[in-house]
Amino acid sequence: MEDKKKGPPISADASKCAGCLVCALRCSLRFEKEFNPAKAAIRIRRLVGAENEYEISFTEKCDNCGLCARHCPYGALIQLGKAAA
């Protein structure tokens, strides 16, 4: 069985997430050539009843390309196995 994943898994630390959506915008730009978080392979959801708490998840479409992790300004996404620059 061929593994279509491009890289090591992305580790998400939701406690560091600020909900900026940079990751989702970058991901949707890659897949759809547009800035549309609804079309990204990463989903950022604000927790109900919380002002600044988020839940991070990935859809089946995610192939661990690492773009979102590279662009997250808050260090909430880390691609495992890649040393921090």
Which parts of this chain interact with ligand SF4 (CB under 6 A)?
10, 17-23, 27, 41-42, 44, 56, 58, 62-68, 72, 74, 76-77
Nearer to ligand SF4, 50 or 66 (CB): 66
Q: How far is CA 71 from CA 4, 50, 77, in A?
A: 22, 25, 9
Q: How far is CA 68 from CA 5, 18, 24, in A?
A: 15, 14, 7
Nearer to ligand SF4, 22 or 36 (CB): 22
* Count of CA atoms in the C-beta half-sphere (13 A) of 36: 6
As a whole number of angstroms, the distance between CA 61 and CA 18 comes to: 23
Least distance in Å: CB of 1 to ligand SF4?
A: 20
As a whole number of angstroms, the distance between CA 22 and CA 77 comes to: 11
Nearer to ligand SF4, 4 or 49 (CB): 4
Least distance in Å: CB of 47 to ligand SF4?
A: 13
Least distance in Å: CB of 51 to ligand SF4?
A: 15
